[in-house]
Amino acid sequence: MEEDTHSLNKNAQICSQQLNEVIEEIHRVIIGQDAVIEKLILALVADGHVLLEGMPGLAKTLMIKTLSDTIEASYKRIQFTPDLLPADITGTRMYNQHTCTFTTKKGPIFANFILADEINRAPPKVQSALLEAMQERQVTISDESHQLGRPFLVMATQNPIETQGTYELPEAQVDRFMFKVLLDYPTQKQEQEILAMVSGGSLPEIRKVISPARILEIQEFAHRIYMDEKISKYITDLVQATRKPELYGLDTRDFIEYGASPRASIYLALGGKAGALLAGRGYVTPQDVKSIARDVLRHRIILTYEALAEDVTTDKIIGMILEKVLVP
C-alpha cells in the first residue's frame, strides 16, 4: 500500500508540474483571477464544464482562449443571441445540387474549448442543444450521431446585469455545469498591471506547453487519486446537509426549497481528486473538498421565497454547512 501511495504521489507531482506550467503561461496574459483560472484547470482535469458569472470586461473570453492556446487545442466562441438557432451550434445537413446528395456541415460545437458567451441571451431550445452536447459528448444532426473531440470543455458566461431580454437557465440544465464561478473586479494594483500590458500595444505570445493527448492521460490518472472512505462520507454529509439540514443542527429548512443533486457529490469527489493532483498529491484531503464546495453547490441549491426576501444567499447557506458538518 505504501508503494502504491508513493507511486501515486510521484505521478501526481509530474502532472502537477505540467499543469502549473499551463497556469503560469496563462498568467502571462491574464493578470490576477488566480481562483478562476485554478477552477478552469480543475474542471479540465475532472472533465467538467464551468459557468462563469461576472461583469462585462473581466477577460472571460481571453481566459478560455489563452487556455486553449497553451494546450494546442481548437477553440470556438459562440455569441448567444435571441435569434440563434440550435443548428447554429450543432450544425446542419445541406443539399448539394451538383451531386444530388446531402452533406453534413458541422457547427462550432466541434472544438476542444467552447466559449458560450452570454448563454442566458438565447432561448431555451438553443441552450438545451449546447447542454445536451456537454452531457452526452455527442451531437445528432438529422439521423447521424457525431462524437465530440476530447478534451472537451465548455465555459459559459452570463452577466449579473442587463437582465432584460435574457432567458434564465433552468435548474436541471445549470446542474450540468461542474462549477459556477463568480468573477470579481481586479484589485487596483492588478488593474494598473493590466493597463501597463495593454498600453504596450500587444499581448505576450503564448507557448503551447502541453498536448491534448497528455491532458487525456492526466484526466485518466485523476480517477486513480486515492480517496479515503472518510472523505467520501464528508462529501455526502455536505450534500445531505442541503437536503436535510435539521439532521446536522442547521436552521435553514425555511430557506432551502430543494437541496443539491447527486451530481454535487460526484463533482465534489472529482474536483477533490483534481485539486489533490494539482497540488502534487496522490490522495484527497478535506481541504481539497472544502475549497471547491461553494463553486460546486451554489447553483444546485434552490432557495425559497423567504430566503430571497431576507437576502439569504446560497453562499451564506454553504458557509453555514461547512461550519456545521464535522471535518474528518
Exposure string of 209-237, with b = 16+ CB inside 10 Å and e = fewer, is bbebeebeebbebbeebbbeeebbebbeb
Residue 65 pLDDT: 86
Q: Is 60 exceeded by the pLDDT of residue 16? A: yes
pLDDT at 252: 79
What digits encode the pLDDT tens for the residues 206-258? Answer: 889 999 999 999 999 999 999 999 999 999 999 999 999 888 888 877 888 88
Report domain extents, the chain.
Answer: 2-216, 225-324
Q: Dihedral sign for Cα 92, 93, 97, 98, please.
A: positive
Residue 2 has pLDDT above 50, yes or no: no
pLDDT above 70 coverage of the chain, percent: 97
Query: What residues are paired with 183 via a beta bridge?
Result: 54
Q: What is the pLDDT of residues 36-48, one digit of tens each?
A: 999 999 999 999 9
* Contact (CB, 8 A) for 273 and 227: yes
Pick from 61-65, 111-115, 242-246: least confident:
61-65
Sign of CA dihedral 112, 12, 295, 190: negative
CB 209 within 8 A of CB 22: yes
Inter-CA distances, 231 with 133, 219, 224, 265, Å: 31, 20, 15, 11
Grid cell 453547490 is found at 297
The residue-averaged pLDDT of 187-196 equals 86
Residues 52 and 183 sit within 8 Å (Cβ to Cβ):
yes
| CA of residue 106 relative to chain centroid, distance | 24
Could you tell me if 271 and 49 are in contact, meaning their C-beta atoms sit under 8 angstroms apart? no
Residue 1 confidence class, pLDDT cut points 50, 70, 90 = very low
Backbone φ and ψ of 115, nearest 5°: -105, 110
Q: Is the pLDDT reported for residue 88 higher than 80?
A: yes
112 near 152, Cβ under 8 Å?
yes
Omega prior to 151 cis, within 30 of 0 = yes
Cα 262 to Cα 157: distance, rounded to the nearest angstrom: 24
Under a CB-based contact definition with an 8 Å cutoff, are residues 154 and 116 in contact? yes
Instruction: State the architecture of 2-216 in CATH terms.
Output: 3-Layer(aba) Sandwich (3.40)
Res. 3 pLDDT band, cuts 50 70 90: very low
Domain 225-324 in this protein, CATH class: mainly alpha
Q: From CA 298, how far away is CA 315, in angstroms rounded?
A: 6
- What one-character DSSP code corresponds to residue 119? G
- CA 173/CA 180 separation, integer angstroms: 12
Buried b / exposed e along 57-80 (16+ C-beta atoms within 10 A): ebbbeebbbbbbbbbbbebbebeb
Inter-residue contact 183 to 53 (CB < 8 Å):
yes
Which amino acid is it at 324?
K
* Distance separating alpha carbons of residues 136 and 44, to the nearest angstrom: 16
pLDDT score recorded for residue 164? 62
Pairing of strands 91-96, 101-106: antiparallel
More confident residue, 119 or 238: 238
Q: How confident is the model at residue 165 (pLDDT cuts 50, 70, 90)?
A: low
The yes-or-no verdict on residue 59 having pLDDT over 70 is: yes
Grid coordinates given for 325 = 458538518
Residue 187 has pLDDT above 60, yes or no: yes
- Higher per-residue confidence, 60 vs 286: 286
Residue 317 CA, chain-centre distance (Å), reads 21
Q: Are 169 and 120 in contact (CB under 8 A)?
A: yes
